Structure 1
């Protein structure tokens, strides 16, 4: 029983060793050119900032580097069981390329990624390649002992060096095979350790500092507090709407019906008039309840998704509104709800304050985020915190790590852009 157990452990170890060698080789071959490309593009783009070109290209380059770093974090967790935290600051809440670039350069995570790229193309490349070398290099020694040395000798006439062993005959070829066997034993013992060292090195370079984690906790705490305040305000609004609207109509309808009971025999005409009034009140109360339910969670949103819900919302606006949707699936219900009400609030602001006669809404999903833009041809001048309701919209998005950008020069047009990280079903 013990022999079988040890044999199974040996086979399992050998499988893990071969798997680490294959993954390490693939990682080294793919990561080296990508790390060099990302680092060089970042340097060139940042060098071009003073002449203006870099202000346009740097945000895209930095986001590409972040996406690459995110992929390497996933591989570290999947292949090495090493979880690497991410603490990027939210994308700047402005459409101005200079401000976006400046904010990205102030993010410590941007410079941490660049330092990691330098290490990944040097020590990272070596540590990823080490398991493959330890596993595959002994095969060369065995091939020399099998007669490969003769082929090399006949073709070149030189001595073949395997490590520190000069192979010029069969005896030295067996020596190369012996060295290969020693290296294979080392691989059996240390190949997995070397592969783990690569991911530990990646974690050491990509992990955020304690100060960054503390800042992230502060932001999450603030967004949670804002979410709680928003929920409480929403409940108060619902209570107020019920009290002042449907409840008041139902009370008045009950009083009318009580009067009808007293007048039905004495004054039938007046009773009929009050019944008609009660019927009208019931229809108005039902309409208010439907509006209230639609304000909590529109049925069309639950049944047909965000795209159709926004189209239905646009049909009720007094301004001509075009909606373009490119969504390959549906986001989670809380994200859809937040996006719907964010669009609703942005459209309401446009109708009330912009003076526009046309609005365009664009919804699409790309690079792991739901991207929404609401554009109008109004007078412009909108700004976050200027009493336009955009501050509340920003808090709503912040609950989901979403961001808001507003471009609204004097004279228009105004573009409100929203991004919410999410995946589609």
Structure 2
């Protein structure tokens, strides 16, 4: 499948979003909805943290104390199950207030029916114990973040609005203003215009800094939720591998359908027509030898064309030059068929695994095909090198630019193929060019 360029496939797209905001981010932050949602998350964290910690410690302590009897097992299992339920509540809170999309952890694998099978599954599940750990660790952090956030928020707004309410002190308190310092001999009040102004400016600094401090605090909450309440790294890897296996199977099936279609519509149809022409030539051989000779000559040309099509098809499956001579010679052959001049430089100390070598070959082939058809380039270059245990490919052209792998084009399909073998595709293609596509594959030599 070719990777399409052009306005319909990712080239020439412009960002129609707002280029800039009227106010800098530092001045907008205290009034943004995101800042208030994060503050709400921190404020709710304290009561929820108390609930989680109290429940977890009570149930686990009670269950551990009763383990000398059979009652300890169901109590401990119930405590862990409750932590999983409260963990689902925390994921919902993080999704609503922090915008986090944390997938649900892997479900319980109950191997035996009945209550005993369920209890064993809960106790054996690493997810259950990670939820318990979250309940224990979240409480002290919730206390700390609540105290810091409330202190900065309250002091900031109180000092910022001090010019509006300082009159309360001389009118009802019998003093000039807020007392900054006082002992038996001296008292300092914030009561003159200069001090009131400075106090408001300090409050402004606190108010502007508070959203960023709260955001830093919630980054720790994000880490806790993601690492302890989401799927384990092993489960995520299993899901990723299953997805990659599906991509590989789909790609192989698509390649088989393409080969079948090319054989049916190309070489097979040509060979059928050739057999019919030879049959007619055989019938005319005795009656009209000259006409038969012409038909045989035409059939000879058809045989050459069919052989060329079969060679091209075999090259598309796996080129012999790649197997015999490696990437340098194979990519040079591909570059020679490109519509624009291509410089090829391959610097490899040895050959990678055959499967990785084939993927690298077809990746460069597709990218150069797109350079020929869609980029409008005058020249291109291909560089291949090894970096530690990774095979690096880079194709650069001086065309119109604007390619975008996120636009659902062939670049997205190519990225999926590379991802199936733990590879990466990075596209750098500003409008006006140049386009630089970098692919990274595991070496596996």
CA distance in 1, matches of 2:436, 2:398: 9
Q: Which of 218, 222, 227 does residue 248 from structure 2 map onto?
A: 227
Q: Partner of 2:383 in structure 1?
A: 362
1:280 aligns with 2:297: no
Tell me by how many angstroms 1:267 deviates. 1.2
Query: Could you say which structure has the higher helix fraction?
Result: 1
CA distance in 2, matches of 1:296, 1:385: 28
Deviations 1:18-75 (A, max 9, x none): xxxxxxxxxxxxxxxxxxxxxxxxxxxxxxxx9xxxxxxxxxxxxxxxxxxxxxxxxx
CA distance in 2, matches of 1:392, 1:336: 19
Task: Give yes or no for contact 1:349–1:388 (8 Å, CA) kept in 2.
Answer: no
Q: What are the residue-to-residue correspondences of 1:259-274 with 2, within 5 Å?
A: 259-274=280-295
Q: What are the residue-to-residue correspondences of 1:186-335 with 2, within 5 Å?
A: 211-335=232-356
CA distance in 1, matches of 2:426, 2:231: 29
CA distance in 1, matches of 2:349, 2:263: 38
Deviations 1:181-217 (A, max 9, x none): xxxxxxxxxxxxxxxxxxxxxxxxx9xx952222221
Q: Partner of 1:353 in structure 2?
A: 374
Consecutive unaligned residues in structure 2, runs of 5 or more: 1-25, 27-101, 103-226
Deviations 1:285-339 (A, max 9, x none): 0000000000000000000011211111101112000011110000111110011
Give the superposed CA RMSD: 2.2
CA distance in 1, matches of 2:290, 2:370: 48
Q: Partner of 2:432 in structure 1?
A: 411
Deviations 1:113-162 (A, max 9, x none): xxxxxxxxxxxxxxxxxxxxxxxxxxxxxxxxxxxxxxxxxxxxxxxxxx
Q: What are the residue-to-residue correspondences of 1:101-140 with 2, within 5 Å?
A: none
CA distance in 2, matches of 1:245, 1:388: 27
Task: Report the secondary structure of 1:248's partner residue.
Answer: helix
Q: Partner of 2:155 in structure 1?
A: none
Q: Partner of 1:421 in structure 2?
A: 442
Q: Which of 380, 391, 399 does residue 412 from structure 2 map onto?
A: 391
Tell me by how many angstroms 1:348 deviates. 1.0
Consecutive unaligned residues in structure 1, runs of 5 or more: 1-49, 51-105, 107-205
CA distance in 2, matches of 1:245, 1:301: 24
Tell me by how many angstroms 1:386 deviates. 2.9
Deviations 1:264-292 (A, max 9, x none): 11111211111011101100000000000
Task: Give yes or no for contact 1:326–1:364 (8 Å, CA) kept in 2.
Answer: yes
Q: What are the residue-to-residue correspondences of 1:138-217 with 2, within 5 Å?
A: 211-217=232-238
Tell me by how many angstroms 1:395 deviates. 1.8
Q: Partner of 1:376 in structure 2?
A: 397
1:400 aligns with 2:421: yes
* Higher relative contact order (CA closer than 8 Å, sequence separation 6+): 2
Task: Give yes or no for contact 2:327–2:346 (8 Å, CA) kept in 1.
Answer: no
1:340 aligns with 2:361: yes
CA distance in 2, matches of 1:346, 1:386: 16
Q: Partner of 2:116 in structure 1?
A: none
Please, what TM-score do these two structures have when normalized by structure 2?
0.48
Q: Partner of 2:95 in structure 1?
A: none
CA distance in 2, matches of 1:316, 1:300: 15
CA distance in 2, matches of 1:387, 1:408: 15
